[in-house]
Amino acid sequence: MKLKVLILAALAPVAAAAQAPNFTITGKIGNLNKPAKIYLDYGSDGEGKQDSCELVNGTFKFTGYIANIASGRMTLSREGIRDKEVYGSGGLGDVIYPSFGKEKIHITSADSLYNAKWTGSKVYEESLAFIKAVGPPVMTIHHNANVALSRATPEQKKDTLFFKALDKKVNEMQASRRTKIVEFARKNPNSYFAMHSLSEASYSTKPEVILEVFNKMSEKLRLSYDGQTLYKLMTADKVTALGATAPNFTQKDVDGKPVSLSDYRGKYVLVEFWASWCSPCRAESPNLIKQYAAYKDKGFEILGVSVDSDKAKWVEAIKKDGLTWTQVSDLKGWESEARKVYGISGVPANFLVDPQGKIVGAHLVGEKLNKKLEELFTN
């Protein structure tokens, strides 16, 4: 399949004008006042932005520029603390994940963002229709599971069968959604939301199936930012196959110094994709520390590649876990360029690269990594 390369040229004054605000979100949530704040994190075509607004008698207003349809996270913190409702509330925070376009939008609610009514957004209405067809988003599934957990009786909270049943329900709902996304995309080749969500479906669908659906979608969507990102992810298995030369990349370390994978030629290097917010990643840290200490003097290195977007949280996690090897990140979160090139659909994930730059191992966690390193360095 051939993808067209679009080259855009514009005079500086025209480009400047294009950055003028093209969306507005106003709202009223009860009668809340300072310190209560609304936080809006949103992204469009790979560009992420953050904004916040104090509530005055429940009212707030956001304006900004987006290149295309935006996906975002909106959070209400009654204490005015960013992300506390997201990470410090047991999954029960007042958080929503809306999509919106270049529109004038108004949202209202008597008590919370979660129950807010949206008006003035055709994109939001289209997103609701998509959700109705394929099922609730992953974040909503987990929110509802956390609500069920919070309402559990003391006896249920001690019952392993209760947790297994809840976990099974969550997994079944996510699997059902992924299947329905693929079918929706087949039937709706012009749907932005279908293209936007196909990467989610790839978690349990073979790349060739995703590509078959992708190839039948409209040219506009295939050439879009989401379309080209998906194509890279779905074809990355060829790029990162065992024996292939590991794709080079350059990102900055915690001090802002550029570091390239090619700098490690002559040594075995584990390219470790992780994030400060990823519990399984952090759980693997002690084993990585142990293996690094055992083999670093024999030519073994680790290059940590974070998919964080918050530098402070990234640096804090490095210090807290005691990670002494080089860490890099472009701080683009899930839009990390290295993640796309390597086709990472979840973290933790890693690739073991030999001194000649060839990939000799992939997704080595725990004992799998330990045995591979023992095989390389003790024979």
146 inside domain: no
Q: What are 121-168's pLDDT values in tens digits?
A: 999 999 999 999 999 998 889 888 888 988 999 999 899 999 999 989
- The residue ranking higher by pLDDT, 203 or 124, is 124
Between 265 and 11, the higher pLDDT residue: 265
pLDDT tens readout for residues 7-51: 333 333 434 345 799 999 999 999 999 999 999 999 898 788 889
Instruction: Report percent pLDDT > 90 for the chain.
Output: 69
Domain membership of residue 262 (yes or no) is yes
116 and 226 belong to one structural domain: no
- The structural domain count of the chain equals 3
Confidence of residue 87 (pLDDT cuts 50, 70, 90): low
Verify that 255 and 367 share a domain, yes or no. Answer: yes
pLDDT in tens, 223-251: 998 998 888 888 887 888 899 999 999 99
Per-residue pLDDT at 88: 60
Q: 137 in a domain, yes or no? A: no
Q: Is 144 within the bounds of a domain? A: no
Rounded-to-integer distance, Cα 334 and Cα 275, Å: 10
Same domain, 373 and 255: yes
Of the candidates 205, 210, 201, 272, the one whose C-alpha atom is nearest the C-alpha of residue 235 is 210
In a domain, 5, yes or no: no
Q: Compute the average pLDDT of residues 74-102.
A: 82
Domain co-membership, 160 together with 184: yes
Cite the DSSP H helix spans in 151-205.
154-157, 160-187, 192-201
The whole-number pLDDT of residue 5 equals: 34
For 23-32, letters b (16+ CB in 10 Å) and e give: bebbbbbeeb
Range of the domain at 233: 154-239
Same domain, residue pair 279 and 213: no
The neighbour count for residue 323, using CB atoms within 10 Å, is: 19
Residues 235 and 257 in one domain: no
18: in domain: yes
45 phi, psi to nearest 5 deg? 50, 40
Spatial separation of the C-alpha atoms in residues 16 and 10, rounded to whole Å: 10
**For position 60, which CATH number holds?**
2.60.40
Residues 103 and 21 occupy one common structural domain = yes
Contacts of 209 (CB under 8 A, 6+ apart): 182
In this prediction, residue 232 carries a pLDDT of 84
CA gyration radius, the chain: 23
The answer to whether residue 317 is domain-embedded is yes
- Torsion, Cα of 328, 331, 336, 339 (10° steps): 40
Q: Are residues 171 and 66 in the same domain?
A: no
**Residue 75 in contact with residue 94, Cβ under 8 Å?**
yes
Domain boundary among 121, 146, 178: 121
The answer to whether residues 222 and 254 belong to one domain is: no
- Active site residue ranges: 281
pLDDT at 101 over 80: yes
Q: Which of 214, 239, 264 is the last residue of a domain?
A: 239
- Tens-digit pLDDT profile for residues 299-357: 999 999 999 988 999 999 999 999 999 999 999 988 898 988 898 877 899 999 999 99
CATH number at residue 369: 3.40.30.10
Order of all β-strands in the sheet with 326-329: 258-260, 250-253, 326-329, 300-306, 268-274, 349-353, 359-362
Are residues 275 and 329 both part of a single domain?
yes
The reply to whether 287 and 224 lie within a common domain is: no
